[in-house]
Amino acid sequence: MAKFYIIGAPGSGKSFLAETMSQRWGIPWYDLNNDVWAKFDPRVRQQIREQVITHPSWIFEAVFPEGFWFEAFQEADLIIVLRTPLIIRLWRIVKRHIEKRQGKLFKGQNDPETLSELFHRLHSSWQYEHRTLPIALSYLQDIPGTVLMLPNNGAEIMPRIFLCLYNMAPSVSRIRDQ
């Protein structure tokens, strides 16, 4: 099987891509962003991390590979970097905020954002290319996994990911497109 790590700005489509891959290939998917994991007690977080990271396959998604989950970034077979255009990201963030305020589930949760959280996401996405992404890309220099840079996350992404897997090591390419 394979281990995937998806990074990108808020609103880039990380969760959508991770969920699509998870459903298509039956691989567990985990959102590693701090707002999710900060709610857990540190001991529980460590236990979960140890259980998850030892699985033969997983899909992780986060804005930035940092701290607690950096080891997973180093163990990924394929790192997918989403480079979705800023205007699309900002639109998605606002749309998601409105939908959550109307009660729509996001990542299985009905947790409406405050205006402060909305502005934080917009700001993070706005500054991603200039602040966060260069640091993440510098980490990629020393990572043994394959890196796939995707300029958008439209319908053409899954075939590109599958082709990348097919060209990788035999143990990774056992995933079959369904």
Question: What dotted CATH number matches 3-166?
Answer: 3.40.50.300
Tens of pLDDT, residue by residue, the chain (178 residues): 688 989 999 999 888 889 888 888 899 988 876 556 666 777 877 777 777 778 889 998 888 766 656 777 788 888 889 999 999 999 999 998 888 888 776 666 667 778 898 999 899 999 999 998 898 888 888 777 788 888 766 666 777 777 777 666 544 444 444 3
Q: Which amino acid is at 147?
A: V
For the residues of 96-163, what is the DSSP string, one character each? HHHHHHTT--BTTB--PPPHHHHHHHHHHHHHIIIIIHHHHHHHHTT--SEEEEES--STTHHHHHHH
Evaluate whether 110 touches 100 at the Cβ level (below 8 Å).
yes
